[in-house]
Each structure stands twice: as C-alpha cells, then as structure tokens.
Structure 1
Amino acid sequence: MARRDLNNLAQYWRDRRVPGLTLLCADFTTQEFALHSHDALVIAVTETGGAEIKSRGEIHRAVSDSVFAFNPAEPHCGWMGWSRRWCYRSMYLTQSALDIVADGLDLQQIPYFTHNMIRDRALCASFLALHRALQDSVDALHEEELLLASFGTLFSRYGSSARRRAEFERHDNTLLARAIDLMKSRYDEPLTLDDLGAVVGLRKVQLIALFKRHVGMGPHAYLTQIRLGAACRRLKSGEPLAEIAAATGFYDQSAMNRHFKRAYGITPRQYAQAC
C-alpha cells in the first residue's frame, strides 16, 4: 500500500511468500522517528540521501554504503539531519520469518547484532537487490536465493554467536517484569508512575532509571510501544480506527495516528490495508 503525506511517500506491504516478512519502501523529506522498537528483526538500507540514526547511545549516518540491523525489541530513533531527502528500503522479520531463514541457512538460532550500523557496500547491494525482487515478486526461486544469500552473509560476517547482553541482576529483573506485566494487562488505562511504582516498590526516579538501564527507554515510551503493538493486532481485524485508539489507551485517534507514524513511518490505515 502506497501513501503520500505532504512530501513523504511510503509503500508498505506483506510478502506473499514468506509469512512474517513485511517490507517498506520510503521516500522521505520531513520524517522524524521517535524512539521506538519492533517485534521483528529490522534491516534497513539507504538508496538516496540519508538520515541520522540513534541507537545504544550513539548517532550514526544512514548512507548508501551502510546496512542497519536492529534486533527485535531494540530501541532506536532517527531524523533527517544533514540530508534533505532519504530514500530507503527496510524489511521486518517476525519470528515466523526468522524461522524460515534459520531453517534455510541450517542455523539453530538467529545471531544477535552487537552493532547496529554495518559498513559493507556489497552487502548493501545484496539487500537492495533482494528488496526489489520481493517487491516485483515474479520469480520465487530467485527471491529465495537472494534471501538466503543476503542473510547468510549478514549473519556470518556480523552476527554474534551468542547474545552478549549484560544479564539483568536478579532483583532488577523481577521488578522490571512486574512493571511490564502491569503495563501489558492495563495498557488501555491512563497509567501513572505512581501506579507502576506501587507495584515494584520504587520511587519515580528509580523506576525511570530501571527502564532506561535495561530496555533503553523510559516507562512512558515503553508503554507506548505496548499500546502500538496492541493497535497493530487490532488493525489486522479491521476494527474502526477510533475504536482501536480508545481500546489501546491512546487519548484519541489523532494521538494514535501521530505515535504510529512517528514510530513506523506509515499510518495505521496503511498498516491495516497492507494486512
């Protein structure tokens, strides 16, 4: 589904051969992505121009010789910065798509990426060729070969054999899980720091520090991600947008649209139509 918003054009669709794989082709001049994450492995490659991408406390330039790889649930944000235009292609692989790739590459698990920006011109070209082939969708064999070749190179060159995340301290892990469980069960309510703090026994400043230390964003941003995820699930069923906004804790439909566009670069209606 393609949509033009002022000077921004975004086309978003689900691949018809690989379950769990969605793709985006974007041509932006004004887009700014708020801090967000996806329940998918994200691969993004720039065609023209560029942008500033922030993740793990570092800012990198998205340019034509760089591939960005974000692990599932890894927070990141971006803005136009130095460039007046940013044309890029991205793909999002949820678990079902990752399972297909892992099976095709004979891997026991998908590697974890300890660096989000990868400078590799040949790999960029490979992913661009893959994305264009998936967009044309005329030769299944060619698409499958490109899929496995591109991800095989990415994983073997830049993937970690084991997840190197710093392990949560046992106490912190328990508190964080309690707070997140509350968010997931009551995301449709106007939760406050007091509500969350009462469950985990932390002061507001301690609660904010806990989230930023372990998930890379504050409680409000994390709750917004949960609400966006719930909205995505409801959008697949074709419910009216206003009803979805009310049911997922957003102030109104306009607020949901704004957060959705800032997080994903497309509107809720585009997402629903692609589904």
Structure 2
Amino acid sequence: MSDERGEREEARLTRHAGLGDLELLTARYRDHAYALHTHDSYVFGVVVAGAEKLRINRQTYLAPAGSIIVVNPEDPHDGEKGCDAGWAYRTCYPSAELMREVAEDLELGHLPMFRQGIIEAPDLASDFVQAHRLAVAGRTMEAETAMLMALRGLTRRFADRSGRNPSPDDSEAARRFRLYRDLVEADLARAFDLGSLAETAGVTRFQVIRDFKRIAGMTPGQYLRDSRIRAASALMRAGKPLAEIAFETGFADQSHLTRLFKSMRGLSPGAFREAG
C-alpha cells in the first residue's frame, strides 16, 4: 500500500514463489475487527502505525507501532484497533515446512514455538519490514534472502529452545475433541448442533462446550466457522467458483461466505484469489 499511515482501510495480499508461495499481507485498518480464527501456518507481523489489540490463545495484548506479533500454528487469535486511528501492519504466514528449514539451520532439533505473542525488538522489526517490502515488490532473490534471515533472527532470539514440541493431549477431553473434529470435517455443509456433537462422544451438551474451550480455545460455533473458512480458503486457491465453495462448506450463500471470510482474513475472497 502506498501510505501505511493513511486513513482509508486497505488490504493487499501477495505471494512469493521463492519462499513456498509465502503469503504476505499489507494492511491498514481503522474499524475492521478480526473474528477469532486459526491458521495452519505461523503468523509474523510488525505494526508500522497505530496500535492493534489482540487475543492470542487466552491472553490479550496491545501491540503499538514497532511491535512484532507472533502466532504459532493453530493458536486461536483475533484483532481490533488498539487506538482511535486503528493500525497498519505487514504480516506473513510461513508454513511449518519453511520454519522447519529455519530451525534446522539453527540446529534446534524441533519445530520452533514462541511463548511471547508480542515481541519488542526494534532491529528485528526493521529487518522484517524491509524483507516484507522486498518480497511484495517481487525482488526474488534479494527478498528471499532478506525474509529467510529475518525469520532466522526472530527464531534464534525468541523461539523456545527447550526442545519441546507440543505433545498430543491424551486426556479424555482431547479424545472427545478428536471425535468432534472428525465429525465436522467429514461434512462441513451439515447443519450441526450441540446435540449431534454430544451424541458422537456420549456426553452432555455442557461437556461439549467445556471440551471445545479447553482444547480449541473456542466455542463450538467459533470452531465450526473457522473450519469452514479454512476449507473455503483451500478451495479458493484451487480456483473453484465462490457459489460452489459456499454450498460445499456450509454457508447460506456466497455473500455469507464473503462476509465471514473478510472478518477472519481481513480481505475479500476476490482480493485473496487475485494475490500474485
């Protein structure tokens, strides 16, 4: 975007082929608010103007200009303006495969995870913003080098070096949650209710609510909407018509899909599909 400190809301998504089609978002929001959602990728971003208020897992943060935002894969998060003027930021969404390459170069021996949702490191923030600018501009090798080094710097300094990867939760709640998840993913277009989820695990509707909160950090409804949007995103990348995607993923119609997609991804399905 030409003016990250301007007043008008803007969002532009680009993809960088040399980094595994890494998605890069350049955005300026004043009134937009992200609904709670997840990604199967990491999220790294730098606030370049204003401030963002966001929740990551169960913790709430305020990220002023200069802050680095870090979200691990599958961590539920949202976002809204943290000051009257809103916020502008540059973010990217590295895959686990890309971050594993970074970890291997650092000899971590495990996929990096980050305990801190907000990082204050002006030098790394500057490096990231510069790498992001190069990647968006399409300067292939220079951008590839700069972004890899920016991600390496963040990982080297702030990733959890204990050697712990998140281990599967073998609790009864986790076992039941896997049943709920499999039921939802088997037919996203189905009209689910708490009773159907409760029946598949042999528990009460109240227990279903508690299980989703404990394992996913979301209500059952939030989880279902997030699952549908993630599936819809994959179908958009494959070039399927939006009306068909809406039908297959359980939305009332194309406009319903469009509204919810923007609330979770920060841009319209059209802008998402046009990303080069």
- TM-score greater than 0.5 by the shorter chain: yes
Matched, 1:254 2:222: no
Equivalent residue, structure 2, for 1:120: 121
1:16 aligns with 2:17: yes
Please report how far the alpha carbon of residue 138 of structure 1 lies from its aligned counterpart in structure 2 after TM superposition. Answer: 2.3
Q: Does the 8 Å CA contact 2:36/2:264 hold for their aligned counterparts? A: yes
Is contact 1:20–1:96 with CA below 8 Å preserved after alignment? no
Distance 1:126 1:113, change over 3 A: same
3-state SS in 2 of match to 1:93: coil
Aligned-pair distance for 1:103?
Answer: 5.0
SS of corresponding position for 1:109? coil
Determine the C-alpha separation between the residues in 2 that align with 1:46 and 1:250: 33
Alpha carbons of structure 1 residues 207 and 10: separation in structure 2 relative to 1, 3 Å:
same
Give the match's secondary structure for 1:110: coil
- 1:20–1:94 Cα contact (<8 Å) kept: no
Give the SS at the match of 1:48.
strand
Residue number in structure 2 paired with 1:160? 160
Counterpart CA distance in 2 for 1:171 and 1:20 is 38
How many angstroms apart in 2 are the aligned matches of 1:53 and 1:166?
26
Q: Which moved more, 1:251-260 or 1:164-173?
A: 164-173
Secondary structure in structure 1 of the residue aligned to 2:212 = helix
1:73–1:111 Cα change, 3 Å: same
Aligned equivalents of 1:235, 1:163: Cα separation in 2: 35
1:32 is aligned to 33
In structure 2, relative to structure 1, the CA distance for the partners of 1:265 and 1:163 (3 Å cut) is: farther
| CA–CA separation in structure 1 for the residues paired with 2:21 and 2:144 | 15
Pairing of 1:163-178 with structure 2 (within 5 A): 163=164, 168-178=169-179
- 2:214 is matched with 213
Q: Shift of residue 121 of structure 1?
A: 1.3
Letter in 2 for 1:145: T
Cα distance in 1 between the residues matched to 2:113 and 2:14: 26
Q: Is the 8 A contact 1:13 1:274 kept in 2?
A: yes
> Within 2, Cα distance between the matches of 1:226 and 1:163?
27
Distance 1:273 1:103 in 2: 33
User: In structure 2, the residue corresponding to 1:17 is in which secondary structure?
Assistant: helix
* Equivalent residue, structure 2, for 1:80: 81
Alpha-carbon deviations, 1:148-201, whole Å to 9, x = none? 321222112211133475862432221111110001102111111111110011
| TM-score normalised by L of structure 1 | 0.91
Matched to 2:153, the amino acid is T
Between the aligned partners of 1:39 and 1:195, the Cα distance in structure 2 is 26
Q: Distance in 1 between matches of 2:165 and 2:140?
A: 38
- Cα–Cα, structure 1 residues 211 and 272, in superposed 2: closer, same or farther, change >3 Å? same
Structure 2 Cα separation of the partners of residues 65 and 252 of structure 1: 40
| Structure 1 contact 114–164 (Cα < 8 Å) conserved | no
Residue 46 of structure 2: aligned partner? 45
* RMSD after superposition: 2.2
Distance in structure 2 (CA, Å) of the matches to 1:11 and 1:101: 26
Q: Structure 2: how far apart are the matches of 1:164 and 1:237?
A: 32
* 2:135 aligned partner: 134
Aligned length: 271
Q: Match of 1:82, SS?
A: coil
In the aligned structure 2, how far is the partner of 1:245 from the partner of 1:179?
22
8 Å contact 2:37–2:226 — kept in the other structure?
Answer: yes
Contact 2:50 2:83 survives alignment (8 Å): no
Unpaired stretches in structure 2, ≥5 consecutive residues: none
TM-score, length-normalised on structure 2?
Answer: 0.91
1:106: Cα distance to partner?
A: 5.1
Question: CA offset at residue 118 of structure 1?
Answer: 0.9
Decide whether the 8 Å contact of 1:14 with 1:21 is kept in 2: yes
Given that 2:26 and 2:91 are in contact with CA atoms closer than 8 Å, whether structure 1 keeps it comes out as yes
CA contact (8 A) 2:96 2:111 kept: no
Q: 1:139 to 1:192 in 2, by over 3 A?
A: closer
Q: Report the counterpart of residue 148 of structure 1 in structure 2.
A: 148
